Amino acid sequence: MTNLEEKKRRLAQLAAACTDPSETESEASEEELDEYSLQTAAGKLLYESFTDEELLNVVRKTAERLGHSPAQREVFWVYRCYLKRRFEKWPYALQKAGLSKAAGRGGTSMARMEAERKHHRELLELVRERGIQLGRIPHPKDFQDELGDLAKYYQTWNQVLTAAGIHWEDTVHPIGDLEPEYRAMLEKLLEQARALGRAPLRSEVEEPFRKKLIARCGSWRNTLYQIGLEPVAHITPFSGTVLSNTNKGTKRHRTVLHECYYKVLNLDERAKRELEEVRRLAEKLGRPPKRKEAPEALRKDLQKWCGSWSNTLFQLGLQPEKKKTFQGTKEPRE
């Protein structure tokens, strides 16, 4: 056992023996302060040796013992200080530990939290099952009765889909018994795609023609799948669909192609060579290149073909590095 592991063991024993966990750092003994305070080199070293999970497990075990989310005063002062330093605020630590932020004896009980976790799991399972039944990515309008509950856990519909583990590719399948009428319609759709240089937007296809194909193929995505295409997709789909606003009606925004991913058809040889230059640059960097890291002339040329730098990378199966954020960014819907 290393010295730090031994210190962790002694700290756990000290916390277990404490009869008044509400004690503050200012009330601790000099020996405790020397060993564990963040104001000392020894205390900082011990703090840094704790993983996030080790600290969160302290909160979880305390909650199990108490039967509710612990308030700060219910956790031994050393752990309390370490948790606040690591997670900034006490509610953040509770949330990370999977506990209710309503802490203390008057807060949420463990039984209530387990019931809420069970309900949460059931909601996600319902989203998955509904997607299978529909044969497409489910929309908020398919869950009018559940949106209020889902909004307790997620801000946007994109977050719901991610948590439910729903993927676009799970909603397509080849249709082997298509009638000649529909095969002819699909050939006409493919001709339109070649003329546009990309998959047509739904709004670019005559409504009766589009609705008939969707009725036969199950969805617009599966319609395009029959001819080897994918629909124009927003870079962050549904991230602008805020659950708390869905009952008021989801706004429909125009699709802006430079904010979308789509495969570009009919690339000429020059564009193909330029894409290979970008691929080699990505291999050299060990990551997708940022827009300004590509030669200006090449970048501008490819952006004319592909609409945006993000979509240029998409042609190569790459995606730009995203900034870490706690909330999805808004984007238009077709």
- Determine contact, residues 32/40, Cβ cutoff 8 Å: no
Rounded (10°) CA dihedral 53, 56, 62, 67: -110
For residue range 66-86, what is the model confidence (pLDDT) as tens digits? 888 899 999 999 999 999 999
Average pLDDT over residues 254-270: 84
Q: Spell out the domain ranges in the chain.
A: 3-96, 112-170, 173-231, 232-334
Dump pLDDT digits (tens) for 298-330: 999 999 999 999 999 999 999 876 544 333 333
* 194-227 pLDDT, tens digit each: 999 999 998 999 999 999 999 999 888 899 999 9
Mean pLDDT of the chain: 85
pLDDT at 169: 66
- Beta strands, E only, 228-305: 233-234, 260-261
Q: Which residues contact 309 (CB under 8 A, 6 or more apart)?
A: 291, 294, 299, 302, 303, 320
* pLDDT tens digits along 113-126: 788 888 889 999 99
Asked whether the predicted pLDDT for residue 237 surpasses 80, the reply is no
Q: In this structure, are residues 277 and 315 in contact, taking their beta carbons and an 8 Å threshold? A: no
Instruction: Give the model confidence (pLDDT) of 143-180 as tens digits.
Output: 988 888 888 888 888 888 888 887 766 678 899 999 99
**Residue tagged 């503050």 (tokens):** 24
